[in-house]
Amino acid sequence: MWTRWQQIGIFVMLLPVLTLAGSCTPVRPWSDSFVYHSPHYSIRTNLSPKVAAQAGDFLEEVLPATCQVLGCPPSFPRLFVYMYASVHQYEKVVGPFGLTRGTTGFYSPLPPKAIHLPWRFTRGVAPQVTLLHEGVHQLIDQTFAFSVPTAARKLLPAAEHSLIAAPLWLNEGLAGYMEGALSSNGSIVVGTVNSQRLSHLKQLIRSGKIPPLRKVLSRSYGESFNAADYAVAWGIVYTLRHAATPMEEQRRRQRLEDYLAAAQGAFFKEPEKEFITELLADGLAGRTLTSRWHRRLAGQSLKAFKEIILGEETTLDEWQHSWRHEILQLQP
């Protein structure tokens, strides 16, 4: 029988069940928290040193596999995680970020950039899964950070000198894809089907309630991105990394890599020139750069998908039809 953790894509050899125990143990106050350092991560927590070390080991195991998929830069700043011993302590943090109670965890791209999560099952989700999912968002924030051209920086506040260049669907699709990583004998195996995402996606297709790819591919940050959108985003990424034959799989992965490379450059061909002409020519006219940036990114996301992923071989409607058929044939 599959355990629940295996069903959601994690075989938790690295983080055994006993680390979640402790409901009868007094919770250490956050004022007594400490920082555990692994090679790439700094984890502040009021849990035990053992749990902190296991979480650090887990993240270090996941890091190279995730970077292989994302195409991470050769180096990046230290990554920060805040792990809370109780949901109550975590919920004290959620409010100022504008999040609702009951969230399993989140990554904040605002300084101090960090993952925040309670080390407890939340809404039926194991904290390891949340740590993995949000850890991908954290790495995407590093990998797809677009540096505003020098000529434009004097016109903008410092907070807008670096902008996220990964479209929303790609950000969530890659995080959902990496949820399917399995730890086996101390290694991470990428590409295992995320059975919960697949089951939901099949239900959406069969019921006719699946959102059109055009809408998911052009969703903007700040817009609603619901469970159906998450399932579709996962399905797109999975399909672009896997196929029935090695030759077709290689072709798909190359096109995805080309798309990722274009996204890392925010889909600009001449950023120094295009950034100003597309985004600052009218002086923003009362709008913030961030909101305009998100709209542009959403539009370019769909356009680039057609140009890079589809090419001249097929239309989006034709690809969507064959993609849905392929998903229905996919087995967990």
Q: How does pLDDT run across 57-103, given as a tens digit for each residue?
A: 999 999 999 999 999 999 989 999 999 999 989 988 887 887 767 78
Average pLDDT for runs of 10 along the chain of length 332: 32 38 68 96 97 95 94 93 94 80 88 93 85 96 95 87 96 93 65 91 98 97 95 98 96 98 97 91 71 95 98 96 98 88
Q: Can you point out the beta strands (E) in the chain?
A: 34-37, 41-45, 79-84, 106-108, 114-118, 145-147, 162-164, 182-184, 187-189
Rg of the chain (C-alpha set): 20
Here the tokens at position 303 are 């356009």
Answer for the pair 154, 160: CB distance below 8 angstroms, yes or no: no
242: CB partners within 8 A, 6+ apart: 191, 249, 252
Closest CA to 251 of 65, 301, 231, 259: 259
CA angle, residues 197, 11, 87, in degrees to nearest 5: 75
Predicted confidence at residue 157, as pLDDT, reads 86
332: CB partners within 8 A, 6+ apart: 193, 195, 198, 199
Predicted confidence at residue 21, as pLDDT, reads 38
Which residue segments constitute the domains of the chain, with CATH numbers given? 8-143 (3.40.30.160), 146-332 (no CATH)
Answer for the pair 264, 144: CB distance below 8 angstroms, yes or no: yes
Predicted confidence at residue 323, as pLDDT, reads 98
208: CB partners within 8 A, 6+ apart: none
Here the tokens at position 162 are 């670096």
112: CB partners within 8 A, 6+ apart: 80
Predicted confidence at residue 119, as pLDDT, reads 94
Answer for the pair 260, 196: CB distance below 8 angstroms, yes or no: no
Predicted confidence at residue 122, as pLDDT, reads 80
Closest CA to 144 of 170, 111, 166: 166
Closest CA to 97 of 124, 115, 118: 115
Bond prior to 112 in cis (omega within 30° of 0):
yes
**Helix, strand, or coil here: 132?**
helix
CB crowding 19-53: b at 16 or more within 10 Å, else e: bbebeeeeebebeebeebebeebebbbbbeeebbe
Predicted confidence at residue 14, as pLDDT, reads 36
On the 0-12 / 13-18 / 19+ scale of CB atoms within 10 A, 314 is middle
